[in-house]
Amino acid sequence: MSLNATSISANLERLHNQIADICARCQRRPSDIALMAVSKMHPAEALLEAYEAGQRLFGENRVQEWQSKSETLAKLANWTNASRGTSSAAGSGGEFRMHLIGPLQNNKTTRAAKLFHAVDTLDSLKTAERLNAAALAQGKVLPVLVEVKLSPEATKHGAAPEELGALLAAVAPLPNLRLSGLMTVPPLSASAGEEAELARPYFQRLRGLRDENVGRHPSLTGLSMGMSNDFQAAIEEGATTIRLGTAIFGQRSYST
């Protein structure tokens, strides 16, 4: 299933309004919450449509998938114009940014450092060291979030909360990574429809971990949490980035 350009821009507009309403109720500023468009499993054209509607912050789960989409986008004339343009449209404004929000394998760190503006799923020192070396080779300082695994669910990636302090202490001195915050994905059951409230304790826990560690690591301010089904609770609990796929692009088709 694919949505047309009108619905992607309408979805973005509706979401900006919803975020503003939620913020008004919990006394936060909408400008403190970044809306990330998660374009995984959607074609490059959908991403371009969101870009043309003013969206600037994106997330993809897989290095390979973003590599092939970025090659497609590079061939689209309006993408080239768009990415050269200086206009800061409504939405996130500023430059195009693509974050890696899926697991990073050690053998993909070089490509990840090259293709992404930030990696939001760091969860081991070994990967951090490789990513640091790759970022150095690219001559860039890569912002990173540490993903924390807050549930025993086997399929979830991330560092254990008990190991977080040691991991942060080891990553902080790496000169080509900049620790920018924490990220989590609650267990699936916690984000399904009416049970969205079940995700709230995970958001509270992530915020608590950030608050515990930000004194030692002052750049660790970000909290990436909340998806299409539970972003309201995430904003109420302090999210600085919410990651929305379905709410912007519609259902993902896993058959192709």
Residues within the interface to ligand PLP (CB under 6 A): 38, 40, 61, 101-102, 185, 227-229, 243-247
User: By 3-state DSSP, what share of the chain in percent is helix, strand and coil, each rounded to 5?
Assistant: 50, 15, 35
In whole angstroms, the minimum distance from the beta carbon of 146 to ligand PLP comes to 14
Rounded to whole angstroms, the Cα distance separating 230 from 84 reads 35
Residue number with the smallest Cβ distance to ligand PLP: 245
- Residue 192: half-sphere exposure toward Cβ, Cα within 13 Å: 3
CB of 220 to ligand PLP, least distance (A): 19
* In the complex, least distance from residue 173 CB atom to ligand PLP, rounded to whole angstroms: 27
- For residues 67 and 228, which CB has a smaller minimum distance to ligand PLP in the complex? 228
CB of 1 to ligand PLP, least distance (A): 13
User: Which of 97, 92, 149 has its CA nearest to residue 119?
Assistant: 97
- Under DSSP, the state recorded for 1 is -
**Closer residue to ligand PLP in complex, CB, 220/239:** 239
